[in-house]
Amino acid sequence: MGRTHVLAVPYPLQGHVIPLIELSKCLVQQGFRVTFVNTDHNHKRVLNALTQKDDLGEISLVSIPDGLQSSDDRNDLAKLAKAIFQVMPGELEELINRINANSSEDEKIKCLIADWGMGWVFEVSEKMKIRRAAFWTPPAAILTPIISIQKLIDDQVIDNDGTPLKNEMIQLAPGLPTMNTTNFLWCCLHDLNIQKFMFNRMIKTNKALKETDFILCNSAYDLEPGAFSFDPRMVPIGPLLASNRLGESGGCFWEEDSTCLKWLDQQPPKSVIYVAFGSLTVFDRVQFQELALGLELSCRPFLWVVRPDITKEENAFPEGFQERVAERGCMVDWTPQQKVLAHPSIACFLTHCGWNSTMEGVGNGVPLLCWPYFADQFVNETYICDVWKVGLKFDKDKQGIITRDEIRNKVEEVFADEKLKERASEIKETALGSVGEGGSSYKSLRNFIEWVKG
């Protein structure tokens, strides 16, 4: 008898690939055959970043074009979104037909799991009569306004193009965090044409998923009870962390610099500030330098992930900064973040509040310093600081800058706040308990597995 065959399709961004790879590994452990579909561009990046320790060999990695030219900027999310919808549906259909033609009857693709942002996949699955499930990578709360689009229009919160009729804080249901209407996911690209395009795609995805039983969320019921009470199709299966399997994470676009782990080994317990802003955050020169000088003023050891494209300038560091902090600062292009956050020398995590980073920080009991950049990150900050109370917010000055003194002061505050550290440890136990045997996420994933096999 063949293995149940699942095809997984992530949205082509780093923060979406990693958790779906982790879910795929969980399914492989349960005896599934998984084919993972990246874009050609991201497929090459994943393969180039693989190390011998990565265990992706059990997952079949394949790719299809994303519709962009090799010279195009794939951080231009508007251009990427439009290209995807023009090219990838036909390419995916052809790929499925090729795979099925070369598979025995009992190993043909039985279910498509696709990132919610790739809603066109559900239209392909319906056309090809294949089961489908959505995968949602941000917090479940962020999905609630999307599946409530018609209500938001009826209540005159947004117009028919998704534009907020006024800048206001709303709460869609009791237990949900309040959110600013200007931070709705379809508003984040600040371009009216792409906003209309994305908004209409979201409406189509809502329709395509109307009969879907599962929207799998990388979250836990006890972290977001209000969100998971909002729609029964939304089920928690997280936090999806490699450490839950005692395995390696996978799917990175950059080669991880593991030398930083040896550097961490040399630092005292609970002494290091870990600073990382994900794959998309970009700083202007002034803010980048204030961050650097704030870390210097803290007089504490720090590990800082400085991507080559984190600023638009080749060397934006303050003059002499790297020499002055050489003995207590470690700066690298990319880290094995889950291992870093699990390291005993880490005291706090200065983060952009991406959901993966948030779950990794929470899952390791690390207090957070919140510096959201866009999209769901502002709601994540609300969860961290106001709901779970495991982190602190930065205040900006009149020019909208987080100053070096503000950074130093908040670092000192998080180091001194024993209640914050205790709360971080409590939330860690809550999060990890959900994926342990008998936990809510454990049960949800088991239910999904039985549904796919049935």
pLDDT digits (tens, 9 = 90+) for 354-376: 999 999 999 999 999 999 998 89
Query: Is the pLDDT at 392 greater than 90, yes or no?
Result: yes
Task: Give the pLDDT score at 55.
Answer: 59
Query: Is the pLDDT at 440 greater than 70, yes or no?
Result: yes
Task: Give the pLDDT score at 53.
Answer: 54
Among 315, 346, 314, which Cα is nearest to 330's? Answer: 346
CB 114 within 8 A of CB 121: yes
Task: Give the pLDDT score at 71.
Answer: 77
Among 138, 143, 191, 164, which Cα is nearest to 372's? Answer: 138
Kindly state the average pLDDT of the residues 36-42. Answer: 95
Task: Give the pLDDT score at 76.
Answer: 76
Task: Give the pLDDT score at 198.
Answer: 86
Task: Give the pLDDT score at 5.
Answer: 96
CB 244 within 8 A of CB 432: yes
Q: Give the pTM.
A: 0.93
Q: What is the pLDDT of residues 261-282, one digit of tens each?
A: 999 999 999 999 999 999 889 9
CB 176 within 8 A of CB 200: no
Query: Is the pLDDT at 316 greater than 80, yes or no?
Result: yes
Cα angle: 331, vertex 332, 335; to 5 degrees: 125
Task: Give the pLDDT score at 452.
Answer: 94
Burial class, 119, CB count within 10 angstroms (exposed 0-12 / middle 13-18 / buried 19+) = buried
Kindly state the average pLDDT of the residues 237-241. Answer: 94
- Using CA atoms, how far residue 186 sits from 108, 302, 361, 373, 378, in Å, is 35, 35, 27, 15, 14
Kindly state the average pLDDT of the residues 314-335. Answer: 94
Task: Give the pLDDT score at 54.
Answer: 59
Which of 206-210, 248-252, 302-306, 310-314 is the most confident on average?
302-306
Give exposure, 234-253, as e/b (b: 16+ Cβ within 10 Å).
bbbbbbbbbbbeebbbbbbb
Sign of CA dihedral 36, 37, 38, 40: positive
What the block records as the tokens of 142 is 């962020």
Task: Give the pLDDT score at 1.
Answer: 63
What the block records as the tokens of 413 is 């505050």
Q: What is the pLDDT of residues 165-217, one digit of tens each?
A: 988 999 998 889 988 998 898 888 777 888 888 899 899 899 888 877 799 99
CB 241 within 8 A of CB 22: yes
Query: Is the pLDDT at 411 greater than 90, yes or no?
Result: yes
- To the nearest whole number, what is the mean pLDDT of the chain? 92
Burial class, 258, CB count within 10 angstroms (exposed 0-12 / middle 13-18 / buried 19+) = middle
Task: Give the pLDDT score at 229.
Answer: 92
Query: Does an H or E element contain 24, and which?
Result: helix 14-29
Task: Give the pLDDT score at 331.
Answer: 96
